[in-house]
Chains A and B, each alone.
Chain A
Amino acid sequence: DTGVSQNPRHKITKRGQNVTFRCDPISEHNRLYWYRQTLGQGPEFLTYFQNEAQLEKSRLLSDRFSAERPKGSFSTLEIQRTEQGDSAMYLCASSSGQGARNSPLHFGNGTRLTVT
């Protein structure tokens, strides 16, 4: 179990630029989740996948955000035309097929995005 891996650890970008983050889940996990955490707050759900299918998206995920999991393994989260309000820690988690209610989510260390 090598854990959930997220890259990069930190990203600093200028407002208006596009950024892409990558998440590699635990290999046997078929569910993958993206959360966002701002300072002083708990993580907020963004979206999740079962295998390659994106099953739910939060209203927080505006049109500038897109997530993919093309082969049911790693996932990418892209933010287009970044805004300062996008500055946050982006967390990825994975779990087995029973879902978050019954199986623990295994979180990565996150990607910290700073938009200047």
Chain B
Amino acid sequence: AQSVTQLDSHVSVSEGTPVLLRCNYSSSYSPSLFWYVQHPNKGLQLLLKYTSAATLVKGINGFEAEFKKSETSFHLTKPSAHMSDAAEYFCVVSALNTDKLIFGTGTRLQVFP
């Protein structure tokens, strides 16, 4: 079965410093992986996706993620955090032979001035 594990439930950074949100996946096949973001009182929004093309994926708002098969990881990074990045971030894997997405438990990112 496919699953994702988000290694940190909370991450706090100062504005202007790098962001690293960690995600490991488990899959018996080559997975499609995603990061979704949920801002307070707003719907979930797709940040970026990996679907077996380039292993370094660029998303919106300066975020990027690198697919590392040897480490079964798909960590989300951003060089410089902005206050508006404060939100809940979900690592997601698509299930095989179905249109279902499997979400991790989320990482809450706090950004301090």
Query: B-contacting residues of A (Cβ < 8 Å)?
Result: 3-4, 31, 33, 40-45, 48, 55-56, 58, 91, 93, 99-102, 104-110
A31 to B94, CA, bound (A): 16
Q: Could you write out 13 A-B pairs with CB less than 8 Å apart? A: A4-B43, A40-B105, A40-B106, A42-B90, A43-B101, A43-B103, A45-B102, A48-B100, A99-B99, A105-B44, A107-B44, A108-B43, A109-B43
The prevalent SS among residues of A at the interface is: loop
Residue of A nearest to B31 (CB): A101
Tell whether, in the assembled complex, residue B44 and residue A91 are in contact, meaning their CB atoms are under 8 Å apart.
Answer: yes
For the complex, give the distance between the alpha carbons of A74 and B32 in Å: 28
* Contact residues, B55-113 vs A (CB, 8 A): 90, 92, 94, 98-106
Whether A101 lies near B99 (C-beta < 8 A) is yes
Interface residue count on the B side (C-beta < 8 Å): 22
Q: Is the CB of B106 within 8 A of A42?
A: yes
With A40-B105, A45-B101 known as contacts, the answer to whether A104 contacts B32 (CB < 8 A) is no
**Dominant secondary structure at the B interface:** loop
In the complex, what residues of B have CB within 8 A of residue A110's CB? 43
Instruction: Select which of B32, B36, B104, B105 is within 8 A of A101 by beta carbon.
Output: B32
Determine the distance from Cα of A43 to Cα of B101 in the docked complex, in whole angstroms. 9
* Chain B residue contacts of A100, Cβ below 8 A: 94, 99-101
Contact of A41 among B92, B99, B105 (CB under 8 A): B105
Q: What mask results when residues 30 to 51 of chain B are scored 1 for a CB within 8 Å of chain A, else 0? A: 0010001000011111100101
Measured between beta carbons, the chain B residues less than 8 angstroms from A43 are 44, 90, 101, 103
Bound state CA distance, A40 and B108, in angstroms? 10
Please, which residues of chain A bring their CB within 8 A of the CB of B32? 101
Name the A residues within 8 Å of B104 (CB-CB): 42
